[in-house]
Amino acid sequence: MTRICKKCGFENQDDYDYCAKCGTPLVEGLRPKQVYVYNAQPLQVNKKAIIASYIATIFLSWSGFFVSLITKNNLVATFTFFGFFMPFFLVQSRHPTLRKHGLIQMGISLVGVALSFYVMFH
Ligand SMILES: [Zn+2]
């Protein structure tokens, strides 16, 4: 059995609560899901938004490392933890592409945190 989307007619797997194509709820009483904050069109992966999320993740997770390296101020390195914000948000997405990018960004953040810790303790 498939769940056919009322809005776009896409045939979804019967365990899907939201349309895989347009994000419309397939079950009565569910509110439309906001898939991506910067994305005007639901569930269509916006390449610019993906790139922006990479820039945000790299900036947030690595700036702590670079700033602490330059200023020799170890406390700045803790700033790096903000780098987890974007990947943490993305991995919770129902969209497999966004989850994949979330995992990649999680890796980028982990490297940034590792570098910051290296600076903090050396
Ligand atoms: Zn749909």
- What's the CA-to-centroid distance between 97 and ligand 1, angstroms? 17
Assess contact for 24 and 10: CB atoms under 8 A: no
Mean pLDDT along residues 41-68: 80
- What's the CA-to-centroid distance between 11 and ligand 1, angstroms? 8
Threshold 0.85, pTM exceeds: no
- What's the CA-to-centroid distance between 13 and ligand 1, angstroms? 12
- What's the CA-to-centroid distance between 32 and ligand 1, angstroms? 11
- What's the CA-to-centroid distance between 117 and ligand 1, angstroms? 45
DSSP strand E in 1-122: where? 2-4, 11-13
- What's the CA-to-centroid distance between 36 and ligand 1, angstroms? 16
- What's the CA-to-centroid distance between 5 and ligand 1, angstroms? 5
Q: Encode pLDDT of 55-103 as tens digits.
A: 988 888 888 777 777 877 666 666 777 778 788 888 888 888 888 999 9
pLDDT at 44: 67
- What's the CA-to-centroid distance between 42 and ligand 1, angstroms? 10
- Tell how strand 2-4 and strand 11-13 pair up: antiparallel
pLDDT at 17: 87
- Where do the H-state alpha helices sit in 10-83? 47-71
